[in-house]
Structure 1
Amino acid sequence: MTADPDDHRNPYVARERILRTAYDLFSRRGIRAVGVDEVIERSSVAKATLYRHFRTKNELVVAFLERRQQVWTRELVLDESGRRGQTPEERLLAMFDVLDEWIHSDDFDRCTFINVLLEMGPDHPVGKAAIGYLEELRDMVKQRADEAGLYRTEEFARSWHILMKGSIIAAYEGDGDAARRAKRMAADLIEQHRSPDEPTRVPAGTSAPGR
């Protein structure tokens, strides 16, 4: 493909085209399998244009992770589950409904942050960025748990995050019911973190024990 000669006159357009291309390639194939030259060719920009916006491949990958956090974590998982629940507990459990729908969609591509962390390692700058975005999701879960009046919400958020990550990996292994199984375990987790003075109740969208 021929590079756009007007790249320098359209800096935002060029940057967005590069990032969209990288997002698609990195999401589907991983970080190491995609080179900068391929991103340049697929996005139809000059090499100098890419390096004007992203000085290194690592900078491009971090920008990709930031975009992924916005598109997947905030807009899909959090915003969508927030619209589906009337209470903090319902919004927490709805996260697994959103995961279930995503798992069965054509857009299911595993968890990018886990993929990058495993591929690059926790000490690599990109791996550290992935850890940071995973922590942000966990903090958002903790905030909902705080709003629900649960106890030991830091511990709760870590356990909840294990269920989320585990359901994604299990789904990739072929368990199409993974998110629904995780939702039932999540309902039990909520009960474990209630105030000792608060009566046990069945959260909306789940079945009572024994049913």
Structure 2
Amino acid sequence: MNPEAEFTPPAAPPAADAAISPAGSVEKILTVAYDLFSRRGVRDVGVNELIEKSGVAKATFYRHFPSKDSLVLAFLEQRDKEWTVKAIVSEARRRGSTPEEQLLAIFDVFGDWFLREDFEACSFINVLLEMGPAHPLGQASIDYLAKIRGHVQVLAEEAGLVRPEEFSRSWHILMKGSIISATEGDMKANKRAQQMAGWLIEHHRPGS
């Protein structure tokens, strides 16, 4: 008997992501990107690391995200949904029974966030400072920061405060400043900002 006739070569191993659906591949890549970009910024994270930790093939990665910048843009969009809307705005609205209380509750939410071991500061600020305002990623970060001001302005309007657009810009300074201070190690930064926020509300009451 010809021994070669009985030999069946082993099947080639399946590709790393052969069993993952396209939607599953995107989710895995975004999950890894969210963790890495939020903790380490953009420039420190390479495509090869993203591919390796996502467990997808290089071709799959580039099919969904033709460039690293396109993945960063997707990360910023997800950050807006998960951090701005769900973690901050929705939680502040839940904690306060009036628009004014909800505005002030933003800093209570910040206080819990500042104490977390995985506190990573504001990704929009981080990416803006890292890439610069002229870079498309920096501009996208500016746009998302403007969306945060938009949420604040809505609350200010609901509270009946005057000059709500001006109010939202001043309020956002307090938000951003407290985040930077917490990054420096000031764990009472949210309370300091909240006190100043109360003064700002008084300054924007009708007739003030």
Task: Tell me if both proteins adopt one fold, taking TM over 0.5 as the criterion.
Answer: yes
- CA deviations 1:28-81 (Å, max 9, x no partner) are 111000011110000000011011111111100000001111111000100000
CA distance in 2, matches of 1:30, 1:186: 29
1:3 aligns with 2:13: no
Structure 1 stretches lacking a partner, 5+ long: 198-211
Of 129, 134, 151 in structure 1, the residue corresponding to residue 140 of structure 2 is 129
Residue type matched to 1:76 in 2?
Answer: A
Q: What is the DSSP-based 3-state SS (H/G/I as helix, E as strand, rest coil) of the residue aligned with 1:32?
A: coil
* Residue number in structure 2 paired with 1:209: none
* Residue number in structure 2 paired with 1:76: 87
Residue identity (%): 59
Alignment of 1:1-211 (within 5 A): 3-7=16-20, 10-196=21-207
Q: Which structure has the larger Rg over C-alpha atoms?
A: 2
- CA deviations 1:101-124 (Å, max 9, x no partner) are 000012310111000000000111
CA distance in 2, matches of 1:78, 1:159: 17
TM-score, normalised relative to structure 1: 0.90
Aligned length, in residue pairs: 194
User: Segments of 4+ in structure 1 off by > 4 A?
Assistant: none
TM-score, normalised relative to structure 2: 0.91
CA distance in 1, matches of 2:108, 2:68: 35
Residue type matched to 1:4 in 2?
Answer: D
Task: Quote the offset at 1:3 in angstroms.
Answer: 2.3
- CA deviations 1:169-196 (Å, max 9, x no partner) are 0011111100010000000000000001
Residue type matched to 2:52 in 1?
Answer: E
